[in-house]
A and B are shown apart, each in its own frame.
Chain A
Amino acid sequence: MAEETLLTDDFLRQLINVGEVDILVGLPTHNNAKTVEPVIQAIQAGILKCFPRERAVIINADGGSQDGTPELVVGASIDDLRKDDVRRVSKVYALRTLHSISTRYARNPEPGTALRTILAAADLLRAKACVVVSPDSTTMEPDWLQRLVRPIYDDNFDLVSPIYRRQKFEGVLMRNLLYPMTRAVYGYGIREPYASEFAISGRLATDFLANETWNDDSGRSGAEICLTVAAITGKYRVCQTFLGTKAQPDRSASDLVDAMRRTVGTLYWSLGSNFPLWSTITGSQPVPTLGTQSEVTLESIQVDRKRLQEMFATGVAELEPVFRSILSASTLAELQRIATLAENEFNYPADVWAKTVFEFAASYHKSVINRDHIIQALVPLYRGRTLSFVLANRDGSGEEIERNVESLCGEFERLKPYLLEVWADRK
């Protein structure tokens, strides 16, 4: 898809009127009217408080909202068309015009296209820093903008990845698969390779627009991961910054499959084209981090462990013919053994999980069966791993959980040669 067709005439005209900016805040939306207002206010406050002299713009890439989300976003602009005399009473005063413009990139949401539109705008407007924010982040504070943008401004970083304060059982996929795998494969310990808030430099935005990611469906659907991978493999300067509590949007069960497609699927896809790079990397290096490395809250949360165990066991049983195409015999046998364990003894060991993930990656690469089916097949196994993680950490403190995650990462790194083996072997 050529870049030109991304920008409608009307959007382009609005971009012309905005002109060159220093900070671009991108907001991809689809029917987020319920949550977007506090986000917009936090963005506005962040700009006015921390970057009052910077030229800034809010770009909303909307995927066909029906609930008036774009109008809410556009209402955030600060310009001289408003005649309210806020000058004397307002504590936060705007020195400059703040544009807030919206474009509808499609009738239905396509996450990759939203990001691409935002990057195209950042490129055209020659933004020094481009921040992407999720419209669901109701916990966002004005300070977040500063924490994301300052490293780019002051220290010339190219990618600023977030670190969140999480409930101890949140983000299991991130902590058990995406983080360890990215770290082991690409050698960089980025905790949130698929983030809903992040910032990139103008340089990286321009370069990433030319990336091959956009030509492939798998790449496009998980473009955020591809961006992280591109930043790591392209020798850009990467850092992490602690933000705050992550807001969790309402989700339903079907979203898990979709989430895995976008994250795991894309991550696997990226391995293919980047093989020459990651195959030679051993170990991992830490990423410069501003603020704490991780923060975990211990408030309790309801987990239906029985259901998890059931779905895992059912999955292992029913999907056996599928697994036979994907997994090695020994790993499959292990899984079948684990499926027989009772709920209170359940344990999906780290090394077995690592091997599972790696074998899936290799099978994905070889397309032993349809790739989307491979990802779907991983879901019940992931549920098993979730159960195992929950059980192992149910009484753990924040530090203990962190240690467990670290040791899982270690396991992934240790088994990287195994990944290389299965990658080459299967013929």
Chain B
Amino acid sequence: MKEIVITELTQALQDLARGFAHYLPRLVVMLIVAFAGWVIAYLLKVLVRSILRLTKFSKLSENAGATQLLNQAALPSSTELLSRFVFWIAWIGFILLGVSVLGIVGLQDYISQFFLFLPRLFVALLILFFGLLAANFVSRAALLAAVNANFRSSRLLSISIRIIISIFALSMVFEVLGVGERTMLIAFGTAFGAVMLGLAIAFGMGGKDLAREFLERRLAAGKKEEKEDELSPL
């Protein structure tokens, strides 16, 4: 009995050693790939950071209001964030590449899915970024225009526009990522419809004074304008 156990152990150890010896080179390759990946990812990060600095990306993100958001969340600047993101994506990519060398079945699928997922992630981030940018810009423009036209509820208008555009952007992001598409679609539809309905009711009933004032000003442009703006600035 002792001999069987020893033989089995030896067999097992030998199997293990063989298996180990079989995988070791691949492991070494994986480590090499991972290391190389780290270096490349780091270089990429530096490259991306320089490019972003050159193209004054920070200014753009300031305009988008992203900088402020990040500041509030005590996150590093958008340039830094993006470069780090690129670094991590690149490095993870290389690691996964290395892992695929190991030849673990099943893992391959997930790895390839990951790589397929990357472009969509990139697009989604772009949409999110520009969506936020647009929301910020348009809502501010609306706010300024409304204030200067002496609109009563300019803040409300501005926030509504921001929300609408943001939601729109978000739902596009989720659609692209393919995460809970249908759910998001329905949720967006519902929310958007509700907001619109609400606005309509508010405008129709509660805002009817506002509406009247607006129309009056538009149609009776002559009289009222003169009385208000006899002062010419230049």
Contacts and interface: CB of A to CB of B under 8 A. Distances in A.
Interface in B137-173: 137, 140-141, 143-150, 154-155, 158
Nearest to A166: B232
Nearest to B59: A367
Contact of A376 (B144, B158, B227, B234): B144
Nearest to A304: B228
Given A252-B221, A307-B228, A173 B147 contact: no
A364 B52 CA distance: 22
A54 B110 CA distance: 88
Q: How large is the interface on B (under 10, 10 to 19, 20 to 34, 35 or more residues)?
A: 20 to 34
A259 B234 contact: yes
Interface string B214-226: 0000000100011
Nearest to A194: B234
B63 A256 contact: no
Contacts of A301: 230-231
B120 to A, nearest CB: 31
Q: SS class of chain A's interface: helix, strand, loop or mixed?
A: helix
The prevalent SS among residues of B at the interface is helix
B231 A303 contact: yes
Contacts of B62: 368-369
A241 B137 CA distance: 44
B233 A314 contact: no
Nearest to B56: A367
Nearest to B217: A253
A248 interface: yes
A302 interface: yes
B55 to A, nearest CB: 14
A322 B232 contact: no
Contact of B148 (A259, A310, A367, A380): A380
Contacts of B63: 367, 369-370
B231 A386 contact: yes
Contacts of A169: 231
B149 A253 contact: yes
Nearest to B232: A248
A171 B234 contact: yes
Top 4 closest pairs, chain A to chain B, by CB: A173-B233, A376-B144, A318-B155, A252-B225
